[in-house]
Amino acid sequence: MRLPILEMGGRLAESDSISEANDVFHLTFDEIKSGFSGADHKDLVTGRKAEMKKWGKIVPMPTIGEPPPHEEGEGDPLGVAFAKFFGVPPEPSRDPDIIPGLGASPGTVQGTAKVVRSLAEASKLEKGDIMVCEMTMPPWMPLFSIAGAVVAGTGGPLSHCAIVSREYKMPCVVGTVIGTAVITDGMTLTVDGAKGIVRIDSRG
């Protein structure tokens, strides 16, 4: 289904209805049809891209409603495995300067926060900075030799971020949920990897 729609997008781009072929995925089928009749959808697509970007910055709630009660002796090996990898959401803090998470690698470091949402932003990271991210993957490995500590929005003790941080012997707190939403570049943070706590010392 994707290839035929992309072909239509290419034709709409050629007719100047949209700017590029991939913009077709921001249109409904009726709008695609009207584009072939000469309708100009460039402003419409621009607005929808902006809307999508806005919603992409919203951090979802870790859970909805009360979790079901856990009975002692109730074997749930899959649940235990998932908890080790993804972590269990921490209790929120009443202190706006305290961000709780899961301690993934011990140690305490104070440094300047740099929010790295993708490798495209990796160049902002300087030696000793605290790397704040959603998660890490193997291509992120070189960044661990630059960062002084890591704060991740997702993950548990067995996540990639946690394991690599322990290999580098650097403090790491994972599963903060709201880390990338409330921390901004230039803040001074203290990361306690043993307690699983990130403290905002200065907002820059």
Residue 64 located in a structural domain: no
Residue 27 and residue 102 share a domain? no
Q: 108 and 191: one domain?
A: yes
Residue 66 is assigned to a structural domain of this protein: no
Cα angle 86-105-100, degrees, rounded to a multiple of 5 = 60
Which CATH number do you get for residue 107?
Answer: 3.50.30.10
On whether both 48 and 141 belong to a single domain, the answer is no
In a shared domain, residues 97 and 46: no
Q: Number of structural domains, the chain? A: 2
Share of the chain above pLDDT 70, in %: 85
Range of the domain at 39: 2-56
26, 41, 70, 160: the active-site residue = 160
Q: Give yes or no: residues 110 and 195 share one domain.
A: yes
The answer on 193 and 147 residing in a single domain is: yes
Domain match, 186 and 86 both: yes
- 26 carries an active-site annotation: no
164-172 average pLDDT score: 97
Give the pLDDT score at 70: 55
Question: What DSSP state is assigned to residue 186?
Answer: T
Q: How far is CA 14 from CA 40, 44, 49, in A?
A: 12, 17, 20
Give the mean pLDDT of 5-21: 95
Clarify whether residues 140 and 185 are in a common domain.
yes
Statement: the pTM of the whole predicted model exceeds 0.75: no
How far apart are alpha carbons 79 and 19 in whole angstroms?
A: 47
Confidence band (pLDDT; 50, 70, 90) for 155?
confident
State the pLDDT confidence band at 92, using cuts at 50, 70 and 90: confident
**131 and 170 part of one domain:** yes
The verdict on 93 and 178 lying in the same domain is: yes
Token digits of residue 121: 């932003």
Amino acid occupying residue 202: S
- Residue 68 in any domain: the answer is no
* Same domain, yes or no: 112 and 184: yes
pLDDT tens for each residue of 53-90: 888 777 666 666 776 665 554 556 666 666 656 666 67
Last residue of a domain, one of 18, 41, 56: 56
Query: Looking at the structure, do residues 141 and 91 belong to the same domain, yes or no?
Result: yes
Say which range, 90-104, 146-160, 161-175, has the weakest mean pLDDT: 90-104
Decide if 177 is inside a domain. Answer: yes
In-domain check, residue 71 = no
Cα distance from N-terminal residue to C-terminal residue, the chain: 48
